[in-house]
């Protein structure tokens, strides 16, 4: 058993022990059951479960939007479910034991991050795929664009978890990790719409520069997720800037987490 396998095993058992782990499956199970048992799904008086009623493209778009919504909801649950994992790993009485093992601090934390992320990403993939499969069987139409979309959602969750992990390690508190993430998430969504307030700032270009600067250095999670539906419907990534800049910022968050952990007394 190598060191990473041990940390992965520990992460899996800890995640499995938390009640929210079963909530993911419950939500997915309810959706699967609803779609599996629903006799019809009517829109404008017509049953869209009858594949011929809507055009293939429209149906694809409808399903992609539904799955995008489901992925967004699942990721929200994952944030709540994973925020406490880093603080628990670093809790007093446990962290001393972990740090006494022959592993570099930066490697230990990287392995823990990756361990938690992989378990959560697998959960996300399995629940989302089970929902997609049920809908696809019911519609008799398999949109394989779902998988690149799912992969992109996992990438987005990597960014989200890097932020949650950063606040978790920094504060040793699950609540602070959740709050930190939402402050950034809401703040960046507001910054994405900054152009709406430009007319109110009259001639003051300093504020525009500040808002633009903040926008560019913040993770654009909301804009990143706007790409999921186009990917699922085969249009691909519509805007690369939010994707690569957000990935870059996530790396900065992760490096800052490692730096903080390396210098911290436990």
- When asked if residue 2 is in the footprint of another protein (CB under 8 A), the reply is yes
- When asked if residue 10 is in the footprint of another protein (CB under 8 A), the reply is yes
- When asked if residue 90 is in the footprint of another protein (CB under 8 A), the reply is no
- When asked if residue 3 is in the footprint of another protein (CB under 8 A), the reply is yes
- When asked if residue 266 is in the footprint of another protein (CB under 8 A), the reply is yes
Cα 253 from Cα 232, distance rounded (Å):
28
- When asked if residue 96 is in the footprint of another protein (CB under 8 A), the reply is yes
Q: Least distance (Å) from another protein to the CB of residue 17?
A: 3
**Nearest alpha carbon to residue 50 among 135, 141, 139:** 139
Q: Which ranges constitute the DSSP H helices of the chain?
A: 3-17, 19-37, 56-82, 85-89, 95-99, 105-139, 146-171, 174-192, 205-217, 221-225, 228-232, 240-262
Q: Least distance (Å) from another protein to the CB of residue 106?
A: 10
- When asked if residue 42 is in the footprint of another protein (CB under 8 A), the reply is no
Q: Least distance (Å) from another protein to the CB of residue 92?
A: 7
The residue from 5, 43, 58, 259 that contacts another protein (CB under 8 A) is: 5
Q: Segment near another protein (CB under 8 A), from 60-68, 90-98, 147-155, 167-175?
A: 90-98
The residue from 42, 46, 94, 195 that contacts another protein (CB under 8 A) is: 94
- When asked if residue 170 is in the footprint of another protein (CB under 8 A), the reply is no
The residue from 100, 196, 199, 200 that contacts another protein (CB under 8 A) is: 100
- Identify whether the C-beta of residue 213 lies closer than 8 Å to the C-beta of residue 205: no
Q: Least distance (Å) from another protein to the CB of residue 104?
A: 5
Q: Least distance (Å) from another protein to the CB of residue 115?
A: 11
Cα 190 from Cα 156, distance rounded (Å):
19
- Identify whether the C-beta of residue 25 lies closer than 8 Å to the C-beta of residue 127: yes
Class of residue 190 by CB neighbours under 10 A (exposed 0-12, middle 13-18, buried 19+): middle
User: What b/e sequence results for 16-55 when a residue is b if at least 16 CB atoms lie within 10 Å of its CB, and e otherwise?
Assistant: eeeeebeebeebbeebbeebeeeeeeeeeeeebbeeeebe
Q: Which is nearer to another protein, 203 or 265 (CB)?
A: 265
Q: Which residues bind another protein (CB under 8 A)?
A: 1-3, 5-7, 9-10, 13-14, 16-17, 91-105, 263, 265-266
């Amino acid at each position: 058993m190598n060191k990473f396998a041990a940390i992965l095993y520990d992460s899996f058992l800890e995640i499995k022990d938390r009640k929210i782990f079963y909530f993911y499956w419950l939500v997915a199970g309810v959706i699967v059951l609803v779609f599996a048992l629903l006799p019809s799904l009517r829109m404008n008086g017509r049953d869209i479960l009858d594949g011929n009623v809507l055009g293939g493209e429209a149906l694809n778009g409808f399903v992609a939007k539904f799955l995008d919504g489901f992925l967004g909801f699942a990721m929200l649950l994952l944030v709540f479910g994973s925020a406490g994992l880093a603080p628990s790993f670093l809790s007093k009485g446990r962290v001393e034991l972990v740090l006494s093992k022959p592993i570099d601090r930066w490697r230990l934390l990287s392995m823990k991050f990756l361990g938690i992320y992989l378990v959560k990403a697998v959960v996300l993939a399995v629940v989302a795929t089970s929902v997609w499969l049920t809908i696809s069987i019911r519609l008799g139409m398999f949109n394989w664009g779902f998988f690149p979309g799912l992969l992109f959602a996992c990438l987005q969750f990597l960014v989200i978890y890097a932020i949650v992990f950063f606040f978790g390690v920094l504060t040793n508190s699950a609540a602070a990790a959740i709050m930190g993430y939402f402050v950034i998430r809401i703040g960046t969504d507001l910054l994405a719409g900054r152009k709406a307030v430009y007319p109110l700032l009259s001639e003051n270009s300093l504020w525009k520069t500040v808002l633009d600067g903040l926008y560019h250095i913040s993770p654009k999670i909301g804009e990143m997720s706007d790409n999921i539906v186009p990917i699922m419907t085969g249009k691909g990534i519509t805007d690369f800037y939010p994707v690569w800049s957000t990935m870059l910022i996530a790396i900065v968050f992760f490096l800052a987490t490692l730096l903080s952990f390396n210098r911290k007394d436990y």
